[in-house]
Amino acid sequence: MSAPELAGLAQVAQPSRDLARSTAFYRDALGLRHVATFDPPGLAFFDLGGARLMLDAIPGAIDHAGSPLYFRVDDVAAAVAALRGRGVEMEQGPELVHRDEAGDFGEPGVEEWMAFFRDPDGNVLALAERRAP
């Protein structure tokens, strides 16, 4: 049996201790489009450019570590400045994390710049910019 053809990311889940606080952070600080909240059971959904972000505050969800989310941006420095203006504390960056000399991820020489921060539940989030040489 052959592997299924995967067309892209459909949904990412992040655990949350406080659904209202996390919803406000992703909507107001990060500017994501809020799609729906279902409480109970404790779920909120956001649009991530065609993929969904699901915040999961169902009891027991926070016991599982979340996966880092990397948000694609055109200008990481401008995005960091905008988030700081909204009260988001950056933990690292923006900084160059990789220069793709071999062209493994596309055009050779493209640089990956990132900055890292956390949501109210301690989940790691990042801004990622690809800069042409």
Domain co-membership, 84 together with 128: yes
Domain contains 1: no
Which residue, of 42, 59, 76, is where some domain finishes? 59
Locate 61 and state its tokens. 């969800």
Residues 81 and 117 in one domain: yes
Average pLDDT, the chain: 89
122 in Cβ contact with 68 (< 8 Å): no
Q: Do both 49 and 89 map to the same domain?
A: no
**Number of domains forming the structure of the chain:** 2
Both ends of the chain: CA-CA distance in Å? 42
Tell me the C-alpha distance between 66 and 60, whole Å.
13
> Same domain for 87 and 126?
yes
Domain with 45, as residue range(s), is 9-59
Query: What pLDDT shows up at residue 104?
Result: 85
Let me know whether 44 and 85 are in one domain.
Answer: no
Q: Using an 8 Å Cβ cutoff, are 99 and 105 in contact?
A: no
Sign of torsion over alpha carbons 82, 16, 68, 90: positive
pTM of structure: 0.77
Domain presence at residue 108: yes
Percent over 90 (pLDDT), the chain:
68
Query: Are 73 and 116 members of one domain?
Result: yes
> pLDDT tens across 12-63, in order?
889 999 999 999 999 999 999 999 999 989 999 999 988 999 999 988 766 7
